[in-house]
Amino acid sequence: MSRIEGRFAELRMEGHQALVPYISAGDPDAGTTLALMHGLVDAGASVIELGVPFSDPMADGPVIQRAGERALGAGMTLGGVLDLVARFRADDATTPVVLMGYLNPIEAMGYERFAAAAREAGVDGSLVVDMPPEEATELLEALDRQGVDPIFLLAPTTSQARVTAICERARGYVYYVSLKGVTGSANLHTAGVADKVASLRALTPLPIGVGFGIRDAATASAIARVADAVVVGTAVVGRVEEKLSEPEELVGHVCEFVREMSCAVVASREEQ
């Protein structure tokens, strides 16, 4: 059983949903990222999505774009991200870590080398935004050999046939993009999300995470009532940006926000 599968099994037994915060690796520096990873776990994170900075992040809005620019400016690379995960694993052997990023750095490293290095570092899943499953066979085979779960995005516009095909290839969990647009978009319609999640449950036994547009405890609570995992990216990265000029307060500021969301996610299930 993978760490991701085990974590969701634990949460099901407890009657809780997962909170999956996203942070950009290396923003503003590697040491702060490592402190944030441990702080997020203490604040209630079930899984950590760790963004791999890339120069052309087509699915990301301006907040995460700026975070990636800061990380790249500080020298962060895919190898550096893997090193961060290895350092995190020295003190945390249980919290699942998923890398989220783009294909170019992985291609530059090579699929086999990336998959092996990811496993060695302690990575549990890989979400490659611009790698469609129809073209991912070589990467998927490399990940499968190393026991790293491929995570796929599903959009509101994804056809039923393609949803079925993606769910057959996915492992760990499925990530449903709750709205059209880039990360950080507004106008989250929870009723529509609930309908879509219900239809996805008929197609896959995997947990269903929902992200994009979740910006506060209220929206996190609403999504937790219908999904298995609440994925929060821009709102978390925005808290990092708010404290760039006060680095001594940054980790506490971000983790307090995540703790509020964690409490809201837990409370949402207890209220039902």
Task: Identify the CA nearest to 177 among candidates 204, 194, 154, 152.
Answer: 154
Judge whether 182 and 59 are in contact, CB under 8 Å.
yes
* The two three-digit tokens of residue 36, written as one number: 């944030």
Of 27, 49, 149, 228, the catalytic one is: 49
Question: What is the distance between the alpha carbons of residues 73 and 27, in angstroms, rounded to a whole number?
Answer: 9
Q: Using only C-alpha atoms, what is the Rg of the chain? A: 17
CA distance 226 to 221: 9
CA distance 119 to 266: 31
Yes or no: say if 115 and 146 are a contact pair by the CB < 8 Å rule: yes
Length of the chain in residues, anyone? 272
Counting DSSP H helices and E strands in the chain, the numbers are: 12, 9
Q: Which residues contact 179 (CB under 8 A, 6 or more apart)?
A: 156, 185, 187, 188, 189, 212, 213
Catalytic residue list contains 241: no
- What is d(CA 51, CA 211) in angstroms, rounded to the nearest whole number? 14
195 is known as an active-site residue: no
Q: Which of 60, 124, 149, 241 is catalytic?
A: 60
The set of catalytic residues is: 49, 60
